[in-house]
Amino acid sequence: MASKRSVTVGGVQIGGGAPVAVQTMTKTETANLQATMDQIRRVADAGADIVRCAVPREKDVEALKTIVRESPIPIIADIHFNHTLALKAIDAGAHCIRLNPGNIGGPEKVAEVADRAKAAGVPLRIGVNSGSLPKHLHDLEMTNPVEALVTAAVEFVGLMERLRFEDFKVSLKSTSVPNTIAANRLLSDRIDYPLHLGITEAGTKWSGSLKSAVGLGTLLADGIGDTIRISLSTFHAEEEVKVAWEILKALKLRERGPVLIACPTCGRLQFDMDSVVAEVERRLEAYDDPIEVSVLGCAVNGIGEARHADFGITGAKDMGMIYSKGEPIKKVRTENLVDELFTEIDKYYASGKQVTRDATAAAEAAAWLAEEEDATAMTPERLAAMELEKAKADADAIDEALSPVAGRRFTRA
Ligand code: SF4
């Protein structure tokens, strides 16, 4: 279930039905003010709603005062082992403190932090990681790691409630994608506090993005999770933010900036689509509107599945075409496709989101498209459409009462 409760981190609501918040963590030494602030501004530009900074030393908590004052987005102080730093981070103005109640020195120290946080109106994130479970759960961890994680989280929640502190969100993370999914599903059934989702140490940009998309995407599709952080082994924290946004955009949970659609290419490709797609993606970064732009590697399918795109291009050897909402705009030389596409997009915005079409140019483009189209070709798109139709027909034939799995996608077992 989606979290009923919410916390507010420096003005950003998390939980209680608010849009899923994107967060990341700076990779700089926090005390290096120049580097840390540069990175915070970059992640804010990339769309981070909140950013977390590690605070392992006195000089970091000192720097936090300036960081909180100058940051364009709320700051979470990430504290381990040292509850004094947590107290100082609250005094420094941090908008939220992340701590693991299991490693901060015992319930009395947790109580001290909770009291100070309560007085300052600062929420906490209490975290449980697969690598740092309390000792008494180590045996359970060997036999049932998911239950061990959930038990630790529920125990911490109980501790906070006994301390009469309820202004917190919970994270429950594992390096295992299936365990993260199973544990968060169980936890969301047991508590109604906001959940922070992440896959611990997910890996490199490539594998980490995929693991995160599978793990977090599965939970988010279930309606579980109120804020996400993608953990990638890269110094460029903005890459984590971009991946988080792609996951949220793919699930239609939030909108931000353009959506690029590109065919996977196949043997029918007749122009250098790799560099065209990369160039289109790069130039789209300058736009904030959630415009949909499509790039097709050939015109064999006509405009086909890109019919809904706000703008698109398709090309052959020498010539290509620009279209909008399934209708041709003009034919252009392949080497000018990208420039002309952005000319049309800019005209669209300059005229208050009106597509401008010259009838002669559009007719020329339609004639070119008719020549290029081949209604008999078995393209990947047509095969996919046929498979989809067959799947729909098969699904219609399923007797729901007899099938134990029919209609159970995205539901908890
Ligand atoms: S047939 Fe489809 S996948 Fe192949 S190049 Fe054309 S549009 Fe791309």
Segment 194-217, tens digit of pLDDT? 999 999 877 889 999 999 999 999
Could you tell me whether strands 96-99 and 124-129 are parallel, antiparallel, or unpaired per DSSP bridges?
parallel
Q: Check whether residue 31 and residue 161 sit in a common domain.
A: yes
Greatest alpha-carbon span in the chain: 79
Q: Check whether residue 221 and residue 274 sit in a common domain.
A: no
Distance between Cα 297 and ligand 1 center (Å) = 5
Confidence (pLDDT) at 315: 87
Could you tell me whether strands 21-25 and 12-15 are parallel, antiparallel, or unpaired per DSSP bridges?
unpaired
Domain of residue 322, residue span: 259-372
Give the closest residue (by CA) to ligand 1 atom 6: 298
Q: Confirm or reject: Cβ of 386 under 6 Å from ligand 1.
A: no
Q: CA-CA distance, 90 to 55, in Å (whole number)?
A: 12
Using DSSP, how many helices (H) and how many strands (E) does the chain show? 13, 15
Q: Check whether residue 273 and residue 180 sit in a common domain.
A: no
- Residues annotated as binding site for [4Fe-4S] cluster? 263, 266, 298, 305
Give the closest residue (by CA) to ligand 1 atom 1: 379
Residue 408: inside a domain:
no
Q: Supply the CATH number for residue 82's domain.
A: 3.20.20.20
- Residues annotated as binding site? 263, 266, 298, 305
Q: Check whether residue 227 and residue 298 sit in a common domain.
A: no
Give the closest residue (by CA) to ligand 1 atom 3: 265
Q: Check whether residue 195 and residue 55 sit in a common domain.
A: yes
Q: Confirm or reject: Cβ of 373 under 6 Å from ligand 1.
A: no
**Residue-wise over 129-147: b if at least 16 C-beta within 10 A, else e?**
bbeebbeebeebbeeebbe
Q: Check whether residue 313 and residue 344 sit in a common domain.
A: yes
Distance between Cα 239 and ligand 1 center (Å) = 29
Measured in Å, how far apart are the chain's first and last C-alpha atoms?
13
Q: Check whether residue 186 and residue 297 sit in a common domain.
A: no
Q: Confirm or reject: Cβ of 263 under 6 Å from ligand 1.
A: yes
Q: CA-CA distance, 25 to 1, in Å (whole number)?
A: 27
List for the chain the helix, strand, coil content (%; round to 5).
Answer: 45, 15, 35
Q: CA-CA distance, 355 to 362, in Å (whole number)?
A: 12
With residue 260 as reference, give the H or E element that holds it: strand 259-262
Distance between Cα 316 and ligand 1 center (Å) = 11
Distance between Cα 266 and ligand 1 center (Å) = 5
Distance between Cα 311 and ligand 1 center (Å) = 17
* pLDDT tens-digit map of 264-321: 999 989 888 999 999 999 999 899 999 999 999 998 887 877 788 999 999 888 999 9
Could you tell me whether strands 311-315 and 96-99 are parallel, antiparallel, or unpaired per DSSP bridges?
unpaired
SS3 for 179-212, per residue? HHHHHHHHHHHHCCCCEEECCCCCCCHHHHHHHH
Residue 79: inside a domain:
yes
Q: Confirm or reject: Cβ of 295 under 6 Å from ligand 1.
A: no
Q: Check whether residue 170 and residue 240 sit in a common domain.
A: yes
How far are the Cα atoms of 32, 219, 269 from residue 66, in angstroms, in the given order?
11, 36, 53
Query: Which stretches in the chain have pLDDT values below 70?
Result: 1-2, 398-413
Q: Supply the CATH number for residue 355's domain.
A: 3.30.413.10
Q: Check whether residue 219 and residue 270 sit in a common domain.
A: no
Domain end among 191, 223, 250: 250
Q: Check whether residue 91 and residue 114 sit in a common domain.
A: yes
Q: Is 328 helix (H, G, I), strand (E, B) or coil?
A: strand
Residue 32: inside a domain:
yes
Confidence (pLDDT) at 407: 46
Confidence (pLDDT) at 406: 47
Mutate to test the pocket of ligand 1, among 261, 265, 314 (most ligand atoms within 8 A of CB): 265
Q: Check whether residue 338 and residue 197 sit in a common domain.
A: no
Mutate to test the pocket of ligand 1, among 270, 296, 307, 382 (most ligand atoms within 8 A of CB): 296
Distance between Cα 106 and ligand 1 center (Å) = 61
Contact 152, 141 (CB under 8 A): no
Confidence (pLDDT) at 412: 37
Q: Confirm or reject: Cβ of 270 under 6 Å from ligand 1.
A: no
Confidence (pLDDT) at 399: 61
Q: Confirm or reject: Cβ of 313 under 6 Å from ligand 1.
A: no
Residue 214: inside a domain:
yes
Q: Confirm or reject: Cβ of 296 under 6 Å from ligand 1.
A: yes
Residue 412: inside a domain:
no
Mutate to test the pocket of ligand 1, among 272, 301, 305, 378 (most ligand atoms within 8 A of CB): 301
Contact 275, 304 (CB under 8 A): no
Name the domain count of the chain: 2
Q: CA-CA distance, 197 to 311, in Å (whole number)?
A: 34
Confidence (pLDDT) at 400: 54
Report the nearest atom of ligand 1 relative to the CA of 377: 1
Q: Check whether residue 139 and residue 191 sit in a common domain.
A: yes
